[in-house]
Amino acid sequence: MKASLIGAAILASVAGFSGAANAADALTLQLKWVTQGQFAGYYVAKEKGYYDEADLDVTIKPGGPDIAPEQVIAGGGADVIVDWMPAALAAREKGLPLVNIAQPFAKSGMELTCRKETGIESPEDFKGKTLGVWFSGNEYPFLSWMSKLGLSTEGGPDGVTVIKQGFNVDPLIQKQADCISTMTYNEYWQVIDAGIPEDELTVFKYEDQGVATLEDGLYVMEDSLNDPATVDKLARFVEASMKGWAYAAENPDEAAQIVLDNDMTGAQTEEHQKRMVREINKLVDGSDGTLDTAAAENTVSVLMGGGSDPVITRKPEGAWTAKVTDKLKKM
């Protein structure tokens, strides 16, 4: 009897050790903004079990107006963040060693939306106008664009007056601004829903103006890439995430519903999220997560073209790596 008890104890111990050894690797992802279709691929990957299949236990943390992903990861609150490259490079130059490990978004969704009645037909017509701009790092592409156009952002007849735009479209609706910042997948449609038809709007896409910068990349702290086990975990995370994005592209309405199911605020609507997922899929554009280095270098050029006050003052070194996506291709 005693021998049986000892044997049972040994088996239980072995089983417990085996269970611990096979525990999924924990990973925390900090989003750039609130739960919405912009991040559908990650929520789909979690809902569909793609992270589980990759032996990962992923926690997705929503962002918001008072949450800076760069600060979260610097404080140890996340392993990976979703960030725009301008903000990441600005933070890197200031001493926070962020590195881009993957780029799910192949295209930029940023644009400037204007009322046609203001007489704005081309960027040359911005002079003397009032433009709404997001700050908290989102202003960097805009400031570089104005510098490229030779327009002061201090106002006056030969410059533009900049107003700090909240994350809404009120300045355009209430005619406080001639143009406002919008994203192809979000605020632009808020303008439409507010009752201004498309034929009464003039839209300038940053992609078309040659000042697009990379958005919604995946970033980690540089020292985490020194650990082969962490690189392996990150590669599994990127692979599973891109599988989520591919599913969202094929099943946009289902992906939108998954996002809604994860929205604890209840602020999102079905129609808006379905539309957002469809527009976001155009930006992902079948990407496998591999960073286009030419697009990254163009982002650097745009940010360094800020005249007397550029966003970054020197070309970054080590700001992106193919270490993770190269490993992914070998898996």
Q: What is the mean pLDDT of the chain?
A: 91
On whether both 146 and 195 belong to a single domain, the answer is: yes
Q: For residue 308, what pLDDT is reported?
A: 65
Domain that holds residue 46: 23-107+214-330
In a domain, 178, yes or no: yes
Residue 22 pLDDT greater than 70, yes or no: no
Q: For residue 2, what pLDDT is reported?
A: 40
Residue 62's Cβ-count burial label (10 Å; 0-12, 13-18, 19+) is middle
In a domain, 48, yes or no: yes
On whether both 224 and 293 belong to a single domain, the answer is: yes
Q: Are 45 and 6 in contact (CB under 8 A)?
A: no
Single residue among 205, 227, 249 that ends a domain in this structure: 205
**Residue 305 pLDDT level (bands cut at 50, 70, 90):** confident
What does residue 205 show for φ and ψ, rounded to 5 degrees?
Answer: -80, 135
Q: For residue 306, what pLDDT is reported?
A: 62
**Residue 304 pLDDT level (bands cut at 50, 70, 90):** confident
Cα–Cα dist 63/35, whole Å: 8
Q: Which of 38, 41, 35 is nearest to 287 (CA)?
A: 41
pTM given for the model: 0.88
Annotate 132-171 with b (16+ C-beta within 10 A) or e (fewer): bbbeebbbbbbbbbbbbeebebeeeeebbebeebeeebeb
On whether both 77 and 121 belong to a single domain, the answer is: no
Output the DSSP codes for 181-223.
Answer: EEETTTHHHHHHHTT--GGGEEEEETTTTT-----SEEEEEGG
Over residues 70-86, the mean pLDDT reads 97
Q: For residue 250, what pLDDT is reported?
A: 98
Q: Which of 316, 307, 314, 315 is nearest to 143 (CA)?
A: 307
CA angle 147, 104, 282 (to 5 degrees): 80
On whether both 228 and 99 belong to a single domain, the answer is: yes
Cα–Cα dist 233/304, whole Å: 34
Handedness of CA 68, 74, 76, 78 (dihedral sign): positive
On whether both 31 and 95 belong to a single domain, the answer is: yes
139 to 90, 133, 200, 281, 285: CA distances (angstroms):
12, 6, 25, 24, 25
Residue 225 pLDDT greater than 50, yes or no: yes
Q: Any idea what the CATH number is for the domain that residue 185 is in?
A: 3.40.190.10
On whether both 222 and 321 belong to a single domain, the answer is: yes
On whether both 94 and 70 belong to a single domain, the answer is: yes
In a domain, 17, yes or no: no
On whether both 103 and 219 belong to a single domain, the answer is: yes
Over residues 104-127, the mean pLDDT reads 96
Over residues 291-316, the mean pLDDT reads 87
Lowest mean pLDDT among 142-151, 154-163, 198-207, 212-221: 142-151
Cα–Cα dist 81/106, whole Å: 17
Q: For residue 307, what pLDDT is reported?
A: 63
Q: Tens of pLDDT along 262-281?
A: 999 888 899 999 999 999 99
On whether both 186 and 312 belong to a single domain, the answer is: no
Single residue among 177, 205, 233 that ends a domain in this structure: 205
Write the single-letter amino acid at 81. Answer: I
Q: Which of 47, 60, 103, 53 is nearest to 247 (CA)?
A: 47
On whether both 101 and 222 belong to a single domain, the answer is: yes
Over residues 151-169, the mean pLDDT reads 92
Q: For residue 13, what pLDDT is reported?
A: 44
Single residue among 161, 178, 205 that ends a domain in this structure: 205
Cβ neighbours for 182, distance < 8 A, ≥ 6 positions apart: 110, 111, 112, 113, 169, 188, 190, 191, 203
Q: Tens of pLDDT along 187-204?
A: 999 999 999 999 999 999
Beta bridge partners of 163: 132
On whether both 326 and 218 belong to a single domain, the answer is: yes
